Structure 1
């Protein structure tokens, strides 16, 4: 646990610092923006301002990294102008620290009591709309439920075929909740009743994510797609892909889709989206693989190396 806490900040913030620094370089070189991207339909993500000098741009980037990206003290979500997708990173760091605190605090309690207190913590977080912390704590609850089953030697469902059917139904329900729309839920077929209970989509997404993970962790049939070599590879590069997909879309993706729409016309809007995805997705995979090998994986090794050097214990 000491190692996990020590390395967590470096694990999250070293790669993000480098990825946003690359965005800074593309801005200085004038290749970050596609001209006319603001005229594209739909939601336009926050973008960094193009300042007059390299020094001003660097100062703005440094301010973003230190005061926004690495700021664990504010629960406010900033615009994250150097990569709008990075709004989740401070949340993940903060929730991780709370998770470690809960694990340490409950470590010496009995299994059933540990589950009860963790479940109570989940309800407490949801009551105050801290869904991100609730999601992390839900992982404790699911792990403790499995531990209780192992200690008592019982299964929730003994028949294999029935277990597959039940957990498949659960994961479908979870994916349905994860599809709860961000806007206009009260007018969206299939979600009108749920919107009466609450229209806050994060609540439904939280419950949906829990159902998906819970069902997959209890059903060997549902685990098969995640036990393949390709799934393992995707897991390795997943963080790198998360960090690079935004800059790739901003510098290349917007230009590709705009060019396709310009030549094919608005009547082929959906076909243009699909074609752009087919063209850009392999590039995102390729860039993510490079970033994982050159930045993400070395960052993990650096964090581990520092922990070993600064402590008297070996991992």
Structure 2
């Protein structure tokens, strides 16, 4: 056995597998391949994965081709020459780099996924399991969200101090830089007290959603705990009431998390109805011929209505997805000049209409995110796409993509894109003289004079940086993200008071000392 452990070939295989993206390593080392198993909410993992890729596209575009983020044909004030007309700027297609609505999809999905198991336990009348699930999720949530971010920002800090990453203070020592990083971690990344404020964390401002996610996860768990023993209709009405209250207060994140809770219960009820229908069909098939004819006649009579209702529901769901694609293209600037979007801007209710210039889009993004998450689960074609291997892989590395894409851009985009040719400015020998900059990188190769050159450079840059982001995210997931999840689970198990745990037998209940099962 010792000889096997010291086998150079075995160690080489392990090292190579660790460096390769998992899908390539799985293809090479087929004996390690894991079968992908789908569960009832796997499509949400796929949707979250594609959304995380779009977030990367968003920051990539804003950093390197910001003029393409404007709507098609919309120019700066009084400067018609600044208008750009690239195909990626067209309505609906703009969603490919519209990262901000994806954040709202993240929050709705988080509310759905975090609520799903407790809600299933509530409907099964297994309240012990509901409380245990809530306790476990609450215990591990901070590890799950903050642990990978602490690790990634620490690595960025080290890279900065070694002059390998932009943004270093040349006068800061390692000790001073470490103290700055500690303040960022404690007062920005793990700071849940601002609720939905953009904290713009140092080292990686893209992590601004993490404290918001944590704070509203705790809110969600509290609401589920509060409503666990209420009647179904009362629980649904109270969740809807809380959603309306959040909107009236301008708290978009709370609205979206609670909407995820509501959608999770709708999903559980739908699954229960489908299971009941299957049982009824099974019973009908076991009846005698007369009863079977009776059931069959009843089914045919109701079939026409069911088909038309199904068609209307499909059309409605498709309309929600189309609306989400259009509103998702809301530009960060000049929304009042964008056809269609300016109508939504004018119809934004209070208090979102007056909070800040981004608040109107948050209101509409939240509504469209709820409609999209629900509609995807109701449309078989879209659901199958998000359950496909590509979307599921993106879902598996989605959190790692969200964390890693910023550092990867910071490390490589300046070298990849370079600069177009910039002629010398000023007179030689004067203080304002600037030497000419030779063309280099993608911008130097493709040019930046017109929209076609910018769009081609945008595509080429994605082909270069995209694989690097996926590779880094895959390694980060296996080396940091998944181990942190396992450590959190082990810590929870180590801290548990076994005497206080409910009896896990079906229908069982933990017995107090001195009582028998009969009592």
Query: Of the candidates 251, 256, 268, which is equivalent to residue 135 of structure 1?
Result: 256
Rounded Cα–Cα distance in structure 1 between residues aligned with 2:231 and 2:378: 23
Query: Of the candidates 333, 341, 353, which is equivalent to residue 191 of structure 1?
Result: 341
Q: Alignment partner of 1:266: what SS?
A: coil
Matches for 1:12-31 after TM superposition, within 5 Å = 12-31=145-164
Which stretch of structure 1 is more off in the superposition, 124-133 or 4-13? 124-133
Q: Which residue of 1 aligns with 2:477?
A: 292
| 1:80 correspondence with 2:240 | no
| 1:180 correspondence with 2:330 | yes
| 1:272 correspondence with 2:457 | yes
Report the alpha carbon displacement of residue 150 of structure 1 after superposing the two structures with TM: 5.4
Matches for 1:113-192 after TM superposition, within 5 Å = 113-149=234-270, 158-159=306-307, 161-192=311-342
Change (3 A) 1:175 1:80: same
Rounded Cα–Cα distance in structure 2 between residues aligned with 1:246 and 1:93: 20
Change (3 A) 1:70 1:50: farther
String of CA shifts for 1:241-273, please: whole Å, max 9, x gaps.
100000000110233123211333212222212
Change (3 A) 1:113 1:229: same
Report the alpha carbon displacement of residue 178 of structure 1 after superposing the two structures with TM: 2.1
Say whether the 8 Å CA contact 2:327–2:364 is kept in structure 1.
Answer: yes
TM-score (norm 2): 0.55
Change (3 A) 1:158 1:240: farther
Rounded Cα–Cα distance in structure 2 between residues aligned with 1:290 and 1:150: 36
Q: Alignment partner of 1:108: what SS?
A: coil
Q: Which residue of 1 aligns with 2:363?
A: 203
Structure 1: where are the runs of 5+ without partners? Answer: 34-46
Report the alpha carbon displacement of residue 90 of structure 1 after superposing the two structures with TM: 0.2
Say whether the 8 Å CA contact 1:64–1:80 is kept in structure 2.
Answer: yes
Rounded Cα–Cα distance in structure 2 between residues aligned with 1:49 and 1:88: 26
Which stretch of structure 1 is more off in the superposition, 87-96 or 140-149? 140-149
String of CA shifts for 1:195-214, please: whole Å, max 9, x gaps.
11126110011111111101
Rounded Cα–Cα distance in structure 2 between residues aligned with 1:288 and 1:4: 24
Which stretch of structure 1 is more off in the superposition, 216-225 or 111-120? 216-225
Rounded Cα–Cα distance in structure 1 between residues aligned with 2:171 and 2:227: 50
Change (3 A) 1:144 1:284: same
Larger-gyration structure (1/2): 2
Rounded Cα–Cα distance in structure 2 between residues aligned with 1:207 and 1:49: 42
Rounded Cα–Cα distance in structure 2 between residues aligned with 1:271 and 1:185: 26
Q: Which residue of 2 aligns with 1:93?
A: 214
TM-score (norm 1): 0.89
Greater helix fraction, Structure 1 or Structure 2: 1
Q: Which residue of 2 aligns with 1:44?
A: none
Say whether the 8 Å CA contact 2:200–2:207 is kept in structure 1.
Answer: no
Report the alpha carbon displacement of residue 165 of structure 1 after superposing the two structures with TM: 3.2
Note the aligned Cα RMSD (angstroms).
Answer: 2.2
Structure 2: where are the runs of 5+ without partners? Answer: 1-133, 278-304, 354-359, 419-440, 505-519
Report the alpha carbon displacement of residue 137 of structure 1 after superposing the two structures with TM: 0.4
Change (3 A) 1:221 1:264: closer
Which stretch of structure 1 is more off in the superposition, 268-277 or 176-185? 176-185
Q: Alignment partner of 1:211: what SS?
A: helix
| 1:241 correspondence with 2:401 | yes
Rounded Cα–Cα distance in structure 2 between residues aligned with 1:230 and 1:127: 39
